[in-house]
Each structure stands twice: as structure tokens, then as C-alpha cells.
Amino acid sequence: KSGESKSAYVTFAKDPDSFLTGSAACVLCFTMKEVDKDTGEPEEDGTEDEYQLEEVVLNICDFIEPYEVANFHKDWDDIGELEQHADTFALSAFKNLQAAADEIVGFLGMEEHNNTKTVPAKSKQHTVLLVGRICTEPAAKLLVKAKVFYSTDNVVTLEFTIRGGDENIRLFLTQELVS
């Protein structure tokens, strides 16, 4: 009806083993119809039109649900090194450890454990503990230790260790984080 606002939703079919990221153009296609003033009913014929909407953007964090655990270190040990992937990266785009920590938390969309997102002032290194569940069948719990530190040449560096899920998920998230 004229003057009413309505919501529109976009849905995507998703392969359970893939996590497509990027953006997609959205166009709202609709038919405008005249409404009979006496009956309040729309006429049969109308004029087709379309309206360009904002792009839909899918990020890794859209596939990860923040998840709280009571004891991160116990869960970390329970998963063990057999379900782990670790790598180290220079993050030269970041001027300080806090900026790097904020970006990692925002990118992954996981729950920070024990307020570890905040880097203490004047720290030379800091470890952020994160927990989330990724949208797989069944949902897989993931735990992350993201240690940010200054290298010997004073470049912000990330030692990224992830446990849980399967090897493909761990490798994918590690690669996406630094791509």
C-alpha cells in the first residue's frame, strides 16, 4: 500500500563446505499498480520497474557465530595439536598492536575470551583469545590464539594459531585472514 514501508530479504543457497565471500549487486524488481479508490484493490495491469539497492557483502564473520566458553585453556587442550594450524605473518599495514587486534577480531567475528581484545598500553606483545562456531554441518567450534607482537625490525607481526573444525576450514580461515 502507498506510504507503507516493508522489508526485503536476500537469501543465498550455500554449499555446506564452502564459504563464498565478496559482494553482489542487488536490484529490486517490482510492478507498480494503480489502486481502485472505491474497492482498494490493485488493477490487473501495472508498470514494471527496478531500483538499484546497496550491494550485499559477505565476509568471513558472516559464517561464524561468536561462542562463549567457560575455560578457554581447557577447551584448547582438549582439542589438541592434531586439530591445529599455525602460521606467522608480518602485518606491515598496522601501526600498532591494538589496531591489528581489532582487525583480527572484526574479521573473524568470534567471541573474545576474558577481554583479551584490549592490548595493555606499551605492550610489546599480546595474545587475543577467540572462540566461535562456523556454519558447517554440524557446526564446528573454533578456538584462536592470535599473538600480535613487534618483530626485531619493529613491524607488527601475527602468530595465528587455530584449533577445531577440519583442516580445510583451518587453512581457509588462516589464508583469508591475511589475503
In the three-class reduction of DSSP (H, G, I as helix; E, B as strand; rest coil), residue 103 is classed as helix
Q: Average pLDDT of 157-176?
A: 94
Q: Is the pLDDT of residue 135 over 70?
A: yes
Q: Report how far residue 178's alpha carbon sits from residue 176's, in angstroms, rounded to the nearest whole number.
A: 5
pLDDT at 1 (0 to 100): 63
pLDDT at 47 over 70: yes
pLDDT at residue 33 tops 70:
yes
Q: What pLDDT digit, counting tens, does each position of 72-108 carry?
A: 999 999 999 999 999 999 999 999 999 999 999 999 9
Ranges of beta strands (E only) in 33-139 are 47-58, 64-66, 84-90, 111-112, 125-134
pLDDT tens figures, 106-129: 999 999 999 999 999 999 999 999
Contact between 148 and 126 under an 8 Å Cβ cutoff? The reply is yes
For all residues of the chain together, what is the average pLDDT?
91
How confident is the model over 11-38, as a mean pLDDT? 84
Residues 6+ apart with CB under 8 A from 148: 91, 97, 100, 101, 104, 119, 125, 126, 127, 128, 156, 157, 158, 159
